[in-house]
């Protein structure tokens, strides 16, 4: 067998091995579920110095599992982020939201964005999560991204808000509040009109109540 032929055969064998590896490897990597028990234990320990009622309120926010779990985690963070002795509570709240977001939960992505953008050093990460939530079609995130994108184009912004205001979701509610504020202040190209402002605000509140009831029914 000539040397060139041996090289060709060796190359073919190597190619076969590589192909076999890629064809037989698992199609997806197993990602272990998030275990926040260690962080939660530290949070529980930090709650021991609080009055019983206050501690129980914060504890409930950290372990809630219903539709309000996102708001609850964000609420726990807001209540504790500036208190050094309760930092473990704030840490757990953020970590919990991040775990849900990393698992693909668009609602968690938006709430994580909200928490992270409250601080300059985590703001960039927060806006990245906002964009990811919008890409998944989460209504509030789509609204926020659109509003920011068109903030220097008043006519396009008003048109977008008119479209949002027709929706029966959180984006629709936010758009109604946007019109209420714009008519209240006479800005964004809309006339100052107290009656229209009140009408939009009432419609926004009614839609908000409707959405809240729908969440409770889940």
When comparing pLDDT for 176 and 6, which is higher? 176
Residues 6+ apart with CB under 8 A from 62: 40, 43, 72, 73, 76, 89, 92, 93, 96
Structural domain range at position 163: 143-211
CA distance 210 to 171: 14
When comparing pLDDT for 32 and 6, which is higher? 32
pLDDT in tens, 144-163: 999 999 999 999 999 999 99
Q: Which of 118, 136, 154 is the last residue of a domain?
A: 136
pLDDT in tens, 30-70: 456 788 899 999 999 999 989 999 999 999 999 999 899 99
State whether 109 and 155 are in the same domain.
no
Q: Is 191 left (phi over 0), alpha (psi -120 to 50) or beta?
A: beta
Percentage of the chain exceeding pLDDT 90? 80
Cβ pair 210, 173 in contact under 8 A: no
> How many residues are given for the chain?
218
Collapsed DSSP state (helix, strand, coil) of residue 28: coil
pLDDT at residue 10, as a whole number: 47
Q: Which of 136, 170, 199 is the last residue of a domain?
A: 136
Q: Which of 105, 136, 167 is the last residue of a domain?
A: 136
State whether 124 and 154 are in the same domain.
no
- Domains in the chain, number: 2
pLDDT in tens, 78-124: 999 999 999 999 999 999 999 999 999 999 999 999 999 999 999 99
Residue 6, H or E segment: helix 3-24
């Amino acid at each position: 067998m000539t040397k060139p032929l041996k090289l060709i055969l060796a190359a073919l064998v190597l190619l076969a091995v590589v192909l076999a590896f890629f064809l037989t490897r698992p199609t997806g990597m197993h990602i272990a579920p998030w275990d926040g028990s260690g962080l939660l234990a530290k949070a529980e320990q930090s709650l021991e110095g609080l009055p019983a009622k206050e501690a129980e309120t914060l504890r409930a926010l950290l372990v809630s599992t219903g539709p309000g779990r996102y708001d609850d985690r964000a609420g726990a963070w807001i209540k504790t982020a500036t208190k050094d002795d309760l930092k473990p509570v704030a840490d757990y709240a953020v970590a919990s939201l991040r775990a849900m977001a990393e698992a693909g939960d668009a609602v968690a992505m938006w709430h994580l964005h909200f928490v992270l953008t409250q601080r300059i050093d985590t703001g960039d990460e927060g806006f990245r999560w906002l964009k990811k939530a919008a890409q998944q079609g989460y209504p509030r995130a789509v609204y926020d991204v659109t509003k920011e994108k068109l903030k220097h184009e008043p006519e396009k912004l008003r048109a977008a808000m008119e479209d949002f205001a027709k929706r029966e979701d959180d984006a629709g509610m936010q758009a109604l509040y946007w019109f209420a504020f714009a008519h209240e202040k006479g800005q964004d190209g809309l006339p100052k009109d107290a009656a229209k402002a009140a009408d939009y605000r009432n419609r926004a509140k009614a839609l908000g109540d409707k959405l809240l009831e729908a969440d409770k029914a889940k």
